[in-house]
Amino acid sequence: MNARLNNTVALVTGASSGIGEATARGLAAQGAAVAVLGRRRERLEALADKVRADGGTACVVAADITDRQQAAAAVDRVVAELGRLDTVVNNAGYMGAGQAVDSPLDEWDRMLEVNVQGLLYITHAALPHLLSAAQDSPRGVADLVNISSTGGRVARPGTAVYNLTEFGVNGFTEALRQEVSHKRVRVSVVEPGTVDTELSTHLRDGVRQAVERQIANMELLRPEDIADAICYIVTRDRRVAVNEILVRAGEQTW
């Protein structure tokens, strides 16, 4: 394999499982030194060991990105330990569902904290480093990839606040893209459909079972399918900017 990301550093949030874990391994396979960020240190350490066993470089950063100071300190630590920052994948996410009238406010708060505030805190801290990397990298480009959802494209009953956060991520991504594209920082969004991850395990009883029935006869996407899309975006030549990738499961209609 042509390691297109040699001598670059990538940060992946929500890296302790699912799409984040698969993405970190994919970026490492392309030659990037990867910083894996999440709250579950043991899982992050296990992932870092896998990356190193495959010949890669990994840095573990255990932090809660919904805390502004922790998010900024996490980015600072990555740059201090690995020397630079060329790629950021904002993958951490939380999904709640159910009718608005009887949804707990704590669930709504959590979606806003993780899907919006956490993404903003990491982005704000990382942007100066990405702008710097784009100037001195042999690749001549840096990348910020935000992971949204089909929930950022299609609003459906039962996911109102999740739709709010993911539509917001899509809008933020596009506006930021226009701000920094002339400085060779590419800003992209990937919108996964139904993926076999832990995301739905946080759903409340009753809601979770309804979602499971809805997807029972569907072959779900795998985390590696989304990681492939992310790796495709960030390994393009500097002349190519892939702004958006929507990836649905084959039988998914929404």
Structure tokens at 161: 């606040």
Q: pLDDT band for position 213 (50/70/90)?
A: confident
pLDDT at residue 193 tops 80: yes
Beta sheet of 58-62, edge-to-edge order: 58-62, 33-38, 9-13, 87-90, 142-147, 185-192, 244-247
The predicted-structure confidence for 139-181, as pLDDT tens digits, reads as follows 999 999 999 999 999 999 999 999 999 999 999 999 999 999 9
Whole-angstrom distance, CA of residue 8 vs CA of residue 247: 26
Residues forming the active site: 162
CA atoms within 13 A on the CB side of 150: 13
Q: State the virtual CA torsion across 169, 43, 219, 247 in degrees, nearest 10.
A: 30
Domain formed by 9-245, architecture: 3-Layer(aba) Sandwich (3.40)
pLDDT at residue 243 tops 60: yes
pLDDT at residue 68 tops 90: yes
pLDDT at residue 86 tops 60: yes
pLDDT at residue 1 tops 60: no
The 3-class SS string of the chain reads CCCCCCCCEEEEECCCCHHHHHHHHHHHHCCCEEEEEECCHHHHHHHHHHHHHCCCCEEEEECCCCCHHHHHHHHHHHHHHHCCCCEEEECCCCCCCCCHHHCCHHHHHHHHHHHHHHHHHHHHHHHHHHHHHHHHCCCCCEEEEEECCHHHCCCCCCCHHHHHHHHHHHHHHHHHHHHHHHHCEEEEEEEECCECCCHHHHCCCCHHHHHHHHCCCCCCECHHHHHHHHHHHHCCCCCCCCCEEEECCCCCCC
The predicted-structure confidence for 116-125, as pLDDT tens digits, reads as follows 999 999 999 9
196 within 8 A of 221, measured Cβ to Cβ: yes
Name the β-bridge partners of 191. 246
The predicted-structure confidence for 9-18, as pLDDT tens digits, reads as follows 999 999 999 9
Q: pLDDT band for position 199 (50/70/90)?
A: low
Cα four-point dihedral sign 96, 98, 99, 105: negative
- Determine which of 16-25, 204-213, 224-233 has the lowest per-residue pLDDT on average: 204-213
Domain residue ranges in the chain? 9-245
Q: Among candidates 187, 141, 127, which has minimal Cα distance to 8?
A: 141
Q: pLDDT band for position 90 (50/70/90)?
A: very high
What is the model's pLDDT at position 212?
75
Name the β-bridge partners of 11. 35, 88
pTM of the model: 0.95
